[in-house]
Structure 1
Amino acid sequence: MGSVTAYAQRLAKRAQGLPPLAVDAVIVIVCWINTVLQAGIDEQLEWWVPLAATANSVPLLWRRRYPFEITMIIGVSTTWLSVVGMLGDLPPAQLVATYTFAALCPPVERVIAMAGTVVGFSISILIPEDKVLNLGPVAIAFAVAYALGTAARARRDRIAMLEERARRLGEEQSAAAARERQRIAREMHDIIAHSMSMIVIQAEAGPLAVRSDPDKAEQVFDTISASAREALTQLRRTLGVLRSEEPTRRPQPGLDALPALVEDVRRTGLAVTLEEDGDARQVPPDLAATVYRIVQESLTNTVKHAAASTAWVRLTWRHDALRLEVGDDGHGAGGETGQGGNGQGGNGPSGNGQGGNGPGGNGLVGMRERVAVAGGELTFGPGPDGVGFRVVAGLPLN
């Protein structure tokens, strides 16, 4: 039985490369020839036998589309042919139908078709008394046909499951790639916007300093050089994620880099203070980087757009959250990339656009995305009495 099953499986694999209709046509022809030849061998080849063989075999052409119905039709015709002695020991069309319903029918239809096959099989064996001795071999043949159909169904289900798993994996990979692209875009924006703003402001002040205060001019050019070098370093680190061969990468800036960032902004002439309340603690690197980038983007917008004289950065440590506030005393006019917040947000550093909590400029979009990833909340808008602009982020620590 095992060798017969293996041989049938090899034939099935070879047939997979052929069109289904062509395979079914060959099966119909083989079953028809078998029925006619068996009648001829038994010397019972009447004029109606080819017609009966046709009625018994041709429905197999639709077995894939209507497996249950075709099984019923062939079961009736096979039983009748067997009772009148027109079939040999093995009914080929019924064996094919058994394989088909085992492979394609749902559970309920499989049970009904199996019961009908057992009834028809019993009638075709027991009524012609000379065929009772064939009960064992015929039963084995039907069992093999059903087992092959079950194996085909299991293989098809397994393939479908693997295809679904591959589809989901592809979707997850695409989503991960999109998130990584967004992260890199945020990093690039934050680095370039901050560094270039510092460089532009210092460069604009440079000619005046050269004429009035050469020592200050030297400091201005040193600041430009340092800002440019730091920007290049951060850009190399950010782009390094695209190079798998790069062995080491510098960590992203975190809370310990805030004093240097504030000092860098002070060189532009803006009086910035950094305050902390509560007991500071260690936070995950990604959360620390989020805080740094929010402060960086907020101060960059203040320098570029707010025309402020003072600004402040406050970190308030609570038992379950970190509250970050960045504000200034500017007029809030202007706008980052011509977008940002009218309405609730006023004409803040984010620009003229939707509103404090609505869609903002690229920088505010990046802030919102960073805070959302960290599981926190971000609000921004005018300060008290409409003076200045504030960005407030609440970041969970648990």
Structure 2
Amino acid sequence: MAPLPISAALRSRVRAFPPLTLDVALVLLVMVVQLWPFFSRQNPAGPPWHWWGYLVVTASALPLLGRRRAPVVALLASLVATGSYDLFGDVPAQPIWYGALVATYTVAVRSAHRPRIVVLMITVGGSMVISSSETALRSGVMFIAAYAVGRAFAASRAHAEALRERAERLEHERRLEADRAAVRERSRIARDMHDILSHAVSVMVVQAEAGPIALTASPARAEAAFDAIASAGRDAMVQLRRILDLLKDDDGARSPQPTLVELPALVEQTSGTGLALTYDVRGEPVPLPPDVEVAAYRIIQEAITNTVKHSGAHSADLRLAWQDDTLMIDIIDDGRGSASSLPSGGNGLIGIRERTTACGGTVSAGPRTDASGFQVRVRLPLTPRGATV
């Protein structure tokens, strides 16, 4: 049950005061209540009440000023004072000693287990020994009740502290996960931008180098080369726009990521560089998880870009084999090494490995064993990593 608004507001106002101020107010309140019998009753013997009673009442309440720092000492000092109350007869009866009860409550809240039990036994046992049966029973019940209330408050406060710490831990973990997700997203965007620009620039440079040569010998071929440059540039702009859309804060519609359906267009664009690229699909294609499909497209794009930039190949084969639970991707060329003036960024195969590993797949890359050339083989699972069937 949630606390009432008035009660919560009152507790909040009380906690706003310094602890010493609260303890001074508590001491004054206990003294007023404890001294009330001195003013509300008259001494049957006639003379005023003995000054000893006033002194004992004050002495029983003052130890509460140190109850937060030394609760056991405060309780024992209050008990010693109240035990000497009846040394003189001309004092009014005191049915309840509030200072000792408050000190018992504080011991239950603030002290360790062993001191709490020892003090509880002393207070209850002492009441049984030095008081009459009626007074002993009443005092014992009150001390046990004060102790129980203190332990209930301590348990409630410990539970609230545990909940607060758990909430802080969860919030900390949430922030860490958000930071990790941001790092992963930045890495993914960086890989995508690398793949897009690397492929487009490679196609454009190859065509630009071939254009002047073809301009005099074959104007039609030169025109096709310049068309390929323009097409590659436009395609790069479209894909970069997709990436930049992901960085926007608005929730508007965003262009989809590339999929395997767009591979024929990629093959056609690459063939315009002079590389005879064939595309072969075996098996029955099945829907892929979005992250796996984007990764597959980017892996193929990067492998083809590497072939154009570094292999000096005349022909290459792109093969997709759909199996029961796996998509096999092979990019094979007949190159003998780099014949291009394009610089190497050194991130191609690294990006391919990172994307493959992120999808739970495997990759191998190296020279062909059956002929000259280079081969990249990628195995991607058809179900997301960690998914159960």
TM-score range, shorter chain: 0.7 to 0.9
SS in 2 for 1:44: helix
Asked whether the 8 Å contact 2:108–2:150 carries over to 1, the reply is no
Listed one character per residue, the Cα deviations across residues 258-279 of structure 1 (whole Å, up to 9, x for unaligned) are 1221121111011212223334
Q: Which residue of 1 aligns with 2:226?
A: 221
**In 2, Cα distance between the equivalents of 1:12 and 1:118?**
32
CA pair 13-224 structure 1, distance change in 2 beyond 3 A:
same
CA pair 246-185 structure 1, distance change in 2 beyond 3 A:
same
Out of 319, 332, 347, the position equivalent to 1:362 is 347
Listed one character per residue, the Cα deviations across residues 38-76 of structure 1 (whole Å, up to 9, x for unaligned) are 58957326889877766x3354342xxxxxxx4443443
Matches within 5 A, 1:188-199: 188-199=193-204
CA pair 81-10 structure 1, distance change in 2 beyond 3 A:
farther
Letter in 1 for 2:52: Q
Q: Which residue of 1 aligns with 2:277?
A: 272
**In 1, Cα distance between the equivalents of 2:342 and 2:84?**
92
| 1:313 CA drift (Å) | 1.6
Matches within 5 A, 1:155-304: 155-245=160-250, 247-304=252-309
| 1:296 CA drift (Å) | 0.5
| 1:363 CA drift (Å) | 2.8
The alignment covers a number of residue pairs equal to 358
| 1:84 CA drift (Å) | 2.8
**In 1, Cα distance between the equivalents of 2:5 and 2:290?**
58
Q: Which residue of 2 aligns with 1:344?
A: none
Asked whether the 8 Å contact 2:60–2:79 carries over to 1, the reply is no
| 1:380 CA drift (Å) | 1.9
> Which residues of structure 2 form unaligned runs of 5+?
39-49, 87-93, 384-389
CA pair 392-274 structure 1, distance change in 2 beyond 3 A:
same
- Is the counterpart of residue 150 in structure 1 residue 159 in structure 2? no
Listed one character per residue, the Cα deviations across residues 99-122 of structure 1 (whole Å, up to 9, x for unaligned) are 5643x67xxx45872674365146
**In 2, Cα distance between the equivalents of 1:392 and 1:195?**
23
| 1:138 CA drift (Å) | 6.5
Matches within 5 A, 1:67-78: 70-78=70-78
- Is the counterpart of residue 120 in structure 1 residue 105 in structure 2? no
Asked whether the 8 Å contact 1:71–1:98 carries over to 2, the reply is no
CA pair 151-285 structure 1, distance change in 2 beyond 3 A:
closer
| 1:98 CA drift (Å) | 2.5
**In 1, Cα distance between the equivalents of 2:341 and 2:374?**
12
Q: Which residue of 1 aligns with 2:42?
A: none
CA pair 226-112 structure 1, distance change in 2 beyond 3 A:
same
- Is the counterpart of residue 382 in structure 1 residue 381 in structure 2? no
- Is the counterpart of residue 14 in structure 1 residue 21 in structure 2? no
> Which residues of structure 1 form unaligned runs of 5+?
63-69, 340-360
CA pair 368-99 structure 1, distance change in 2 beyond 3 A:
farther
| 1:293 CA drift (Å) | 0.7
**In 1, Cα distance between the equivalents of 2:24 and 2:218?**
103
Asked whether the 8 Å contact 1:271–1:309 carries over to 2, the reply is yes
- Is the counterpart of residue 84 in structure 1 residue 84 in structure 2? yes
Q: Which residue of 2 aligns with 1:396?
A: 381
**In 2, Cα distance between the equivalents of 1:330 and 1:215?**
27
Asked whether the 8 Å contact 1:316–1:324 carries over to 2, the reply is yes
Matches within 5 A, 1:17-36: 17=16, 22-23=18-19, 25-30=20-25
| 1:207 CA drift (Å) | 2.0
**In 1, Cα distance between the equivalents of 2:35 and 2:302?**
91
SS in 1 for 2:67: helix
Asked whether the 8 Å contact 1:330–1:389 carries over to 2, the reply is yes
SS in 2 for 1:312: strand
Out of 300, 313, 321, the position equivalent to 1:308 is 313
| 1:395 CA drift (Å) | 1.0
Asked whether the 8 Å contact 2:104–2:146 carries over to 1, the reply is no
Asked whether the 8 Å contact 1:79–1:124 carries over to 2, the reply is no
SS in 2 for 1:272: strand
SS in 2 for 1:261: helix
Q: Which has the larger radius of gyration?
A: 2
**In 2, Cα distance between the equivalents of 1:219 and 1:259?**
18
SS in 1 for 2:52: coil
Asked whether the 8 Å contact 1:280–1:317 carries over to 2, the reply is yes
> In angstroms, what is the RMSD of aligned CA positions?
3.8
Matches within 5 A, 1:89-100: 89-92=96-99, 95=102, 98-99=105-106
Letter in 1 for 2:234: R
Asked whether the 8 Å contact 1:368–1:378 carries over to 2, the reply is yes
CA pair 337-156 structure 1, distance change in 2 beyond 3 A:
farther
TM-score (norm 2): 0.76
Out of 43, 51, 58, the position equivalent to 1:43 is 51
Matches within 5 A, 1:317-356: 317-333=322-338
Asked whether the 8 Å contact 1:83–1:128 carries over to 2, the reply is no
CA pair 278-111 structure 1, distance change in 2 beyond 3 A:
farther
CA pair 81-224 structure 1, distance change in 2 beyond 3 A:
same
CA pair 51-43 structure 1, distance change in 2 beyond 3 A:
closer
